[in-house]
A and B are shown apart, each in its own frame.
Chain A
Amino acid sequence: MSTKTYKKFENAGSGDLPDKMTVYQDCMNTFNESPVNPKRCRVLISRLLRLLSNGVAFPENEATALFFSISKLFQHQNDALRQAVYLAIKELSGMSEDVLMATSSIMKDVQNGSDLVKPNAIRALTYVLDESTAFSAERLLKSAVVSKHPSISSAALCTSYNLLPISEVTIKRFANEAQEGISDLKQFPSIPYDEHSLLVGEFYPNSTYMAQYHAIGLIYQLKKNDKMAILKLASQLANSNTLKNQLAKVQVVKLIDDLLARDPQLYRQFEEILLSWLTNKHEAVQIEVAKVISTFSLRNPRLVSPERFSYIVTTLQSLLAVPRVSTRFAVLRILNKIAMVSPEKIAVCNAELETLINDSNRNISTYAITILLKTGNASNIASLISRITRFIHDVSDDFKIIIIDAIRTLSLNFPQEWKSIVKFLIDVLKNSEGGLKFKNTVVEAIIDIVSFIPESKDMILESLCDFIEDCEFNEILVRILHLLGKEGPYTSRPSLYVRHIYNRVVLENSIIRSAAVVALAKFALTKNDPTLKESIVSLLNRIANDQDDEVRDRATIALRLIEFSEDDSTTVATELIEPKYFYDLPSLEAKLNNYLNTNDDSFKTPFDASSVRRFTEDEVKAIELKRKQEQALTGTTEGTSEPGAKKAKSESTTDNKGFAGPSVGEDEQELLNTKYAEKLLAIDQFKEYGKIINSSKPVSLTESEAEFVVNGIKHIFKDNIVFQFNITNTLPNVALDNVSVTCTQEDPEASQLEELFTISIDRLLPTDTGSCYVSFQKNDELVIEGFLNNLLFTTKDVDPNTNEPYEGEEGFQDEYEIDSLYISAGDYVTGSFIGNFDAAFDELPAEEIAVFNIQENLSLQEVIDKLVINSNCLPLNNTQFAPNDSNSHTLKLFGKSVLSGSKVALLIKMIRSSKGIALKVQGKGEDATLCSDLVNGLM
């Protein structure tokens, strides 16, 4: 060994990473030396670990060799070396192929090692045990769990926790000992004298009783399937004073949260104790309680009284003033969640929130602003926006995007405030520095406003024209040109935009020129200014000589189409220039995929696009508005806007379950519907019915825990109605044969429906789901009826070995009653969007008024959700959220008949009193029967 390498070895770690091969060779040589040099070994191990930590990987044979030589160091009884050996064993166990050889040495340490290395040894067990050997550690772990030494006990609890996936049975055997770990207050013994010399300094451990936390975590995992056991554990811990550790206390709050998610009624039992923890000395506990109750009350608004809820808000409000950043951060995350659903509840915190706008942590200030934007009301929006205008120019793009998103939601909530919002957005767009992603968000927000607030169109389009004169991003320019082409022809002065668009053709690159050509073409057919057509044609003629292929092509096509449109014989031209409908993209994709995969006649039959669902523009808007309302609920503003990540999605879907009645999982629902429809239309008997006009959402007809879980879907055809029953067999070891459903009309005499046939399910094995269909002939266009349903089937025991019923088994005929299914007027209606509800409402000819009284104890929100589901209409002007501070509300719903496309609008006034809720429904529509059926069948 030369002087140089020796030096390098002494200053291990300074400077660059050590060389991988050198470290490997040094390790192999030194570890196998005899006698062992503990100091050098530890330095080498530390260098090895530094390599591993920096992502340097060793091939399996080298890793195994290293692991083997490191396990030789067990012979040396130096605790300082031993600790390092354990670190290395843990890191290498993932790479080395044989780790079992270290097991016996480790177990020896667990039994006979000093208190110093015992915890390290116990925790190393996680890495060397597998399914087949885990049981051998039972006795060791058990005695370590009950050890009086806190570190040893914690180590054993954590190792057991880590081993749960492979040896739950073994660990269950000492569940009682683990449970004792919760109540046992273990103190650190004083450190023996000879150990002091090994340690890095003279530190005296304080008992924090962490073992309580680990023990609760372990016990929960062992008992989590047993609700009663968890309930017992939670009430025991909640009512005693044994818990000293703050993490353990938070854990108990989480336990209660877990219970409340299973059974909301338990809330009564825990309310007092939870509220009393709001003044706990640990902020962590306060935060957790506030988090749990606020999420709970959003899901079960009736169980938490407003007065109780205000305790939480008060606690959160006081926590906003604490110096610790993470506390404020945590509080704001909770407030933000509350603000998404009931902003008025936290309006009392506005003063504190306003001071936080200038917080040095940009996360905090951004949260404060987005919450303020949500709690804001019509009167203070303008002033709020002016404050943000000052703020937004000096934060980074990520935060700007979050704020713009919040403003976008705001514009949907307060359409009447569009002027100041649009002014702000345009200002930001023109004057703020920022990247593509940020500017794109702004443009998207603006596009939203244009499409949902028609009054704003002129002002926005004019400002955008100014903006594109000086815009550096192609993508954004193209989007704006598209928007101008789409909306411009319908404004009062289309010629204004033509000039701006043509300027782009003259000045910009070919991508933008092509987009501009398409936009220009749309102006040729405008009704508002017939003189334009000629000028557009001459402009396009000029562009047709462009140097770029794409631009030329588009201009030529546009010219031809305009020519076509002159002789009115064909609509192709108008359809292409001004499309009236859009394809449902997911189903188009599915159909195309299907077409490509089932290549029967090498594509001789052309693709049939007529079977793909098409939406008119209003429908697209309705869908989008719905999606945006949902987004506002689930809170895409959480997280610093980084793209996607699966986790966010799964979180939002679980969160969603609570808040939103009618709007859950719309997208998935659409897909599911398309799938059902495909399956249905694949059945021969249904082919002659033609296209499905409308399918309802699945209606649950049994409780979700019933032996047979059934849900029903109503498919409406031109002259027929088909019920689809999806039946799941939840019985273990029993198969159901010949499953069918009998549907009896509630009033068979007056029925307008004639049953045609039933398609039954041949066999449902345990856990299988199948669909059974019942078909009817419809004699009237609009049929409204209720059906009593019975499930008919033959049960047969299943041989668990073959998963088939025993041979020769005859089985029992049985019947099972399921809930009634109603065809209501809502099934003939689909939600539709209209920009100006009030004007449209006044214009519709037919009118129907009905009054309902609801005696049940429901909240306004629950009634609204029910109305939206029953009517199948789209709530407009953000009226689908009930105010929490008032007992009256007006809901505006708009829809369209699926049969004729006639419009229908509902204006529902509701007042809540001590006797219940009174509803006055005023319906207006183009079709009098539909309107009256819808109004009268609403509740």
Chain B
Amino acid sequence: MSLYSVEGILILDSKGERIYGKYYNPPHTHVDETNTLITSNKVQLEFEKQLFKKTYKKNSEIILYENHLILYKEYTDVTLYLIGDDNENELILQAAFDAYKNSLELVLNNGIDKKNIQENYDLVLLTIDELCDNGIILETDPASIASRVTKAPEENITLDLDKGLLGAWGFAKSKFQERLQQGL
């Protein structure tokens, strides 16, 4: 009766290459050396390759694979995966998976595709972090997850008036040069 029901979260592209991947091991416990899926990147990549082969264009949603319950959804050029303990209630994992894909849909408001995920990688990371903590399902409501994800901070241009006019001039000059460099 463990809370650690998620074993990993993956995002693979249309060729089966990893865009995001995280495998969980309960913290502060001895890592089981035989469970190389957690320790070895090579094993992970092979696992992903085989898993991708098994799921690509198969439209199954849920499969048992090497004693893991895998839930997945294919989008145009990416596939989201959630790897779960095979003894866990399938519908609980389904709830976690729904939260995973729906919250990503909310956060990436232009839809889930490879370019969007790569350009908003920080948002994807934060979303997954709010979904699952070390394999414990943290939250299953997509809006609650999305409401805790911050966007990238604005570039805040604050003038420090103490430094006087000269300071302001220097600041403006450097900003101007920066823009020029960008080819604006």
Which residues of the partner chain B approach A586 to less than 8 Å between Cβ atoms? none
Q: Mark A163-195, 1 if CB is under 8 A from B, else 0.
A: 111100000000000000000000010010000
Contact B118 A14, beta carbon cutoff 8 Å: yes
Q: Known: A204-B147, A642-B66. Contact between A84 and B89, CB under 8 A?
A: no
Contact B90 A210, beta carbon cutoff 8 Å: no
Complex formed: what's the CA distance from A83 to B181 in Å? Answer: 31
23 A-B pairs (CB sep. < 8 Å): A14-B119, A49-B122, A119-B148, A126-B28, A191-B147, A199-B147, A203-B106, A204-B143, A205-B143, A206-B143, A214-B3, A214-B136, A217-B136, A247-B92, A287-B89, A325-B60, A326-B94, A333-B90, A361-B59, A361-B62, A363-B62, A645-B66, A647-B67
Residue B61 CB within 8 A of the other chain: yes
- Residue of A with least CB distance to B96: A247
Most buried by B among A127, A151, A155: A151
Contact A208 B144, beta carbon cutoff 8 Å: yes
Residue B182 CB within 8 A of the other chain: yes
Residue A580 CB within 8 A of the other chain: no
Among B58, B63, B122, contact of A42 (Cβ-Cβ < 8 Å): B122
Of the candidate stretches A250-258, A838-846, A896-904, the one touching chain B is A250-258
Q: Known: A162-B133, A205-B144, A210-B138. Contact between A42 and B152, CB under 8 A?
A: yes
Among B54, B62, B152, contact of A39 (Cβ-Cβ < 8 Å): B152
Most buried by B among A210, A282, A291: A210
Which residues of the partner chain B approach A155 to less than 8 Å between Cβ atoms? 133, 138
B41 to chain A, nearest CB (A): 4
Which residues of the partner chain B approach A150 to less than 8 Å between Cβ atoms? 144
Among B28, B71, B154, contact of A162 (Cβ-Cβ < 8 Å): B28
A44 to chain B, nearest CB (A): 10
Contact B62 A210, beta carbon cutoff 8 Å: no
Residue A38 CB within 8 A of the other chain: yes
Which residues of the partner chain B approach A648 to less than 8 Å between Cβ atoms? 67
A75 to chain B, nearest CB (A): 15
Which residues of the partner chain A approach B67 to less than 8 Å between Cβ atoms? 639, 642, 645, 647-648
Complex formed: what's the CA distance from A646 to B87 in Å? Answer: 15
Complex formed: what's the CA distance from A165 to B29 in Å? Answer: 7
Q: Known: A78-B153, A258-B1. Contact between A640 and B138, CB under 8 A?
A: no
Residue A431 CB within 8 A of the other chain: no
Q: Mark B140-166, 1 if CB is under 8 A from A, else 0.
A: 110110111111111110000000000
Complex formed: what's the CA distance from A15 to B114 in Å? Answer: 10
Complex formed: what's the CA distance from A120 to B181 in Å? Answer: 38
Which residues of the partner chain A approach B152 to less than 8 Å between Cβ atoms? 39, 42-43, 80
What is the interface size of chain B, counting residues whose CB is below 8 A from a CB of the partner?
72
Complex formed: what's the CA distance from A166 to B136 in Å? Answer: 18
Chain A residues proximal to chain B, CB less than 8 Å: 3, 6, 11-15, 37-39, 42-43, 45-47, 49-50, 53-55, 57, 78-81, 83-84, 87, 90, 116, 119-120, 123, 126-127, 150-151, 154-155, 158, 161-166, 188, 191, 198-201, 203-208, 210, 213-214, 217-218, 220, 224, 246-247, 250-251, 254-255, 258, 282-284, 287-288, 291, 324-327, 329-330, 333, 360-363, 638-640, 642, 645-648, 651
- Residue of A with least CB distance to B154: A39
Q: Known: A39-B152, A53-B21, A640-B63. Contact between A217 and B121, CB under 8 A?
A: no
Contact A116 B148, beta carbon cutoff 8 Å: yes
A634 to chain B, nearest CB (A): 14
Complex formed: what's the CA distance from A360 to B60 in Å? Answer: 7
Residue B175 CB within 8 A of the other chain: no
Among B34, B91, B140, contact of A287 (Cβ-Cβ < 8 Å): B91
Contact B119 A210, beta carbon cutoff 8 Å: no
- Residue of A with least CB distance to B115: A14
Contact B91 A200, beta carbon cutoff 8 Å: no
Among A6, A45, A55, A326, contact of B122 (Cβ-Cβ < 8 Å): A45
Complex formed: what's the CA distance from A166 to B121 in Å? Answer: 33
Most buried by B among A15, A57, A208, A254: A208
A691 to chain B, nearest CB (A): 39
Contact A55 B61, beta carbon cutoff 8 Å: no
Which residues of the partner chain A approach B168 to less than 8 Å between Cβ atoms? none
Complex formed: what's the CA distance from A122 to B146 in Å? Answer: 19
Chain B residues proximal to chain A, CB less than 8 Å: 1-3, 18, 20-22, 26-29, 34, 41, 44-45, 54, 58-67, 71, 86-87, 89-95, 106-107, 109, 115, 118-119, 121-123, 125-126, 129, 133-134, 136-141, 143-144, 146-156, 181-183
Complex formed: what's the CA distance from A258 to B1 in Å? Answer: 8
Most buried by A among B109, B119, B141: B141
Q: Known: A151-B148, A162-B27. Contact between A208 and B63, CB under 8 A?
A: no
B102 to chain A, nearest CB (A): 11
Say what secondary structure dominates the interface of chain A: helix
Which residues of the partner chain B approach A46 to less than 8 Å between Cβ atoms? 121-122, 125
B66 to chain A, nearest CB (A): 5
Among A79, A205, A283, contact of B150 (Cβ-Cβ < 8 Å): A79
Contact A638 B1, beta carbon cutoff 8 Å: no
Question: A15-B118, A87-B125, A154-B138 are known contacts; what are 4 more A-B pairs with Cβ within 8 Å?
Answer: A218-B3, A220-B1, A254-B1, A646-B34
- Residue of B with least CB distance to A224: B1
Contact B153 A203, beta carbon cutoff 8 Å: no
Which residues of the partner chain A approach B22 to less than 8 Å between Cβ atoms? 53
**Can you list the 7 inter-chain pairs with the closest CB atoms, starting with the nearest?**
A284-B91, A205-B144, A55-B41, A330-B90, A80-B150, A46-B122, A217-B3
Most buried by A among B18, B29, B61: B61
Q: Known: A203-B106, A326-B94. Contact between A38 and B141, CB under 8 A?
A: no
Among B29, B121, B147, contact of A12 (Cβ-Cβ < 8 Å): B121
Contact A284 B95, beta carbon cutoff 8 Å: yes
Which residues of the partner chain B approach A127 to less than 8 Å between Cβ atoms? 27
Contact A361 B61, beta carbon cutoff 8 Å: yes
Complex formed: what's the CA distance from A15 to B17 in Å? Answer: 12
Which residues of the partner chain B approach A47 to less than 8 Å between Cβ atoms? 121
- Residue of A with least CB distance to B124: A46
Which residues of the partner chain A approach B2 to less than 8 Å between Cβ atoms? 217
Q: Known: A204-B147, A360-B59. Contact between A246 and B95, CB under 8 A?
A: yes
Contact B62 A126, beta carbon cutoff 8 Å: no
Which residues of the partner chain B approach A161 to less than 8 Å between Cβ atoms? 3, 136
Which residues of the partner chain B approach A53 to less than 8 Å between Cβ atoms? 18, 20-22
- Residue of B with least CB distance to A123: B133
Complex formed: what's the CA distance from A161 to B41 in Å? Answer: 27
Which residues of the partner chain A approach B136 to less than 8 Å between Cβ atoms? 158, 161-162, 214, 217
Which residues of the partner chain B approach A250 to less than 8 Å between Cβ atoms? 89, 92
- Residue of A with least CB distance to B122: A46
Complex formed: what's the CA distance from A449 to B62 in Å? Answer: 34
Complex formed: what's the CA distance from A327 to B98 in Å? Answer: 14
A288 to chain B, nearest CB (A): 5
Q: Known: A3-B182, A54-B18, A247-B140. Contact between A201 and B106, CB under 8 A?
A: yes
Among B26, B94, B144, contact of A206 (Cβ-Cβ < 8 Å): B144
B161 to chain A, nearest CB (A): 16
Complex formed: what's the CA distance from A864 to B119 in Å? Answer: 66
Which residues of the partner chain B approach A642 to less than 8 Å between Cβ atoms? 65-67
Contact B151 A198, beta carbon cutoff 8 Å: yes
